[in-house]
Amino acid sequence: MDFILTDNRLLSIKDKVLSNVRLDADDALLLYKSNDIIGMGHLADFVRRKRHGKKAYFVYNQHLNYTNVCITHCRFCAFSRNKGQAGAFTLTINDVRKKLLDRIDEPITEIHMVGGINPELPFGYYLDLLKTIKEIRPNVTIKAFTAVEIDYLSNIAGLSLEDTIHTLKNAGLEMVPGGGAEVLSSRVHDKLFPRKIGHERWLEIVAKIHSAGLTSNATMLYGHIETSKERVKHFMRLRSLQDETNGFTAFIPLAFHSQNTLMSDIPSTTAFEDLKNIAIARLMLDNFDHIKAYWVMIGEKLAQAALSFGADDLDGTIIEEKITHMAGATSAKGLTHKKIWHMIQSAGWDAVERDSFYNEIKSVKKSKGSPEPG
C-alpha cells in the first residue's frame, strides 16, 4: 500500500499502522505537531476501511433535552440557565409525551436524552421519563443520561452507583451517551468545569456502566484551552478503559462553540483542526469500533469530508438540537433521513442506517438510479 506522506516524521507511524502495531502517546503528539493532514487522513482512512469497508453509518434519532436548568456552570456551556432565568426550561412528563407523539409517524429508532443538573427534579422524574418513552415508543433504544447525570442521580436517589444504574436500566435505559468527559485532565477540569466530576470519577462511573452490561460512547470537547498533550492523555485514558471493559461503542470529537459562553473570545475551530482530530482519534483509538463525525458541530459539509479522514458515522437525524445551537452552531437543527442518506452516498460511501448498537436497518448500495429510501 502506497501512502503519500509529505511529512517524513510520519513514516514510522505509517510502518506501525501497516503492521498493526499500536501507536503510543509520542506518536499521537507527533501527529498533532504535523501539518500533513492528507498523510494522516490517508492512514486513518486505511484503518477505517479495514474495519468498515465502504460503509458509513447513520441513525434515525430524536434528541430530547428535558431541562437546561443546571447548577454546574461549566464555562464552555451556552445551554444552561439558572432557575427562573430567561430561557430556562424544564419539560413536564406531558411535554415529553407530546414531543414524542409529534413525531410518532417517523421510524425513529433511538431517543438521545440529556439535560442539566437541576436540583428541583426528584429521582422519580427520571424514571418517569424513561417509562414514558418506552410506553409511547416501545421499540426505540433509549440512550440517555451522561456519567455526570448518573453520578448526580445516585446522590439524589440515595443509592449506590450499581443500584442507580440497575434501577435506570429496569426503567428502560439501554445505552449512555458520551458527554461529560470534556477533557480527561485535572488542569482543564479545575479551570473550566470545577463543579462537575473529574476524570477519575468519570472513568469510574463509565466502568460501572459497562459492568452493568450497558454500552456507552465517549466524547472529547476540543478547541478551547486544552493542549495537544492533554488531548493525547484523554485518548490514552479512554483506550486503557476500553482495554478493560470493551464497553465503548463510538468516540465523538466535539468542536467547541464559544458564542454565548464565558469563553466567547475563543475563535471557532478550523476545518483543518476538526479533520485532524478525527484522523488522530481513528489512529489512536484502535479498540473503538466507531468514530463519529458529529455533523451538528462541524457542519454537514465537513462531516461529509470527515468520512474520508477516519470517521465511519455521521450520528443521525437529531430533529431538534439545542446544546450546540445555543452556542452559535450554524448547522441545521435536524436532517431528514433522505438528506443524511444523500450526504453519505454523494461522498462515495455506502449509506447504512443502523440502530444504536450498529445493527443494520437498511443498507443501500450506491448505484446509478438506485432509489433513495425515506
Interacting residues with ligand V47 (CB under 6 A): 76-78, 177-180, 182, 217, 219, 221, 252, 254, 256-257, 261, 294, 297, 315, 323-324, 327
User: Exposed, middle or buried by CB within 10 Å (0-12, 13-18, 19+), for 251?
Assistant: buried
3-class DSSP state of 190: helix
Among 23, 31, 74, 252, binds ligand SF4 (CB under 6 A): 74
Q: Which stretch binds ligand SF4 (CB under 6 A): 76-84, 105-113, 124-132, 299-307?
A: 76-84
Among 40, 41, 59, 116, binds ligand SF4 (CB under 6 A): 116
Interface with ligand SF4 in residues 190-219 (CB under 6 A): 196
Q: What is the total count of residues that contact ligand SF4 (CB under 6 A)?
A: 11
CB nearer to ligand V47: give 88 or 159: 88
The answer to whether residues 112 and 143 touch, using CB atoms and an 8 Å cutoff, is yes
Query: Which residue, 42 or 322, is less far from ligand SF4 as judged by CB?
Result: 322
Sign of CA dihedral 128, 66, 177, 337: positive
Min CB(196)–ligand SF4 separation in Å: 6
- Give whichever of 116 and 172 is closer to ligand SF4, judged by the CB atom: 116
Residue 31 or 252 with smaller CB distance to ligand V47: 252
Q: Are 176 and 145 in contact (CB under 8 A)?
A: yes
Q: Which does 294 bind (CB under 5 to 8 A by kind): ligand SF4, ligand V47, none?
A: ligand V47
d(CA 284, CA 281): 5
Q: What does 324 bind: ligand SF4, ligand V47, none (CB cut-off 5 to 8 Å by kind)? A: ligand V47
As a residue count, the chain comes to 374
Q: Identify the three-state secondary structure at position 236.
A: helix
Interface residue with ligand SF4 among 57, 58, 60, 79 (CB under 6 A) is 79
H/E stretch holding 192? helix 186-192
The smaller minimum CB distance to ligand V47, of residues 111 and 305, is found at: 111
73 is an interface residue for ligand SF4 by CB under 6 A = yes
Query: Which residue's CB is nearer to ligand SF4, number 58 or number 294?
Result: 294
72 binds, among ligand V47, ligand SF4, none (CB under 5 to 8 A by kind): ligand SF4
Partner in contact with 196, chosen from ligand SF4, ligand V47, none, beta carbon below 5 to 8 Å by kind:
ligand SF4
φ, ψ dihedrals at 363, nearest 5°: -125, 130
Q: How far apart are CA 202 and CA 179, in angstroms?
A: 10
Q: Which is nearer to ligand SF4, 148 or 188 (CB)?
A: 148
What is the rounded distance in angstroms from the CA atom of residue 144 to the CA atom of residue 261?
A: 24
Nearest residue relative to ligand V47 (C-beta): 179
Rounded alpha-carbon distances, angstroms, from residue 324 to 79, 168, 195, 256: 8, 27, 21, 9
Strands 55-59 and 61-65: unpaired
What distance in Å separates the CA atoms of residue 56 and residue 94, rounded to the nearest whole number? 36
Helix, strand, coil percentages for the chain (3-state, nearest 5): 40, 15, 40
- Chain residues binding ligand SF4 by CB under 6 A are 70, 72-74, 77, 79-80, 116-117, 148, 196
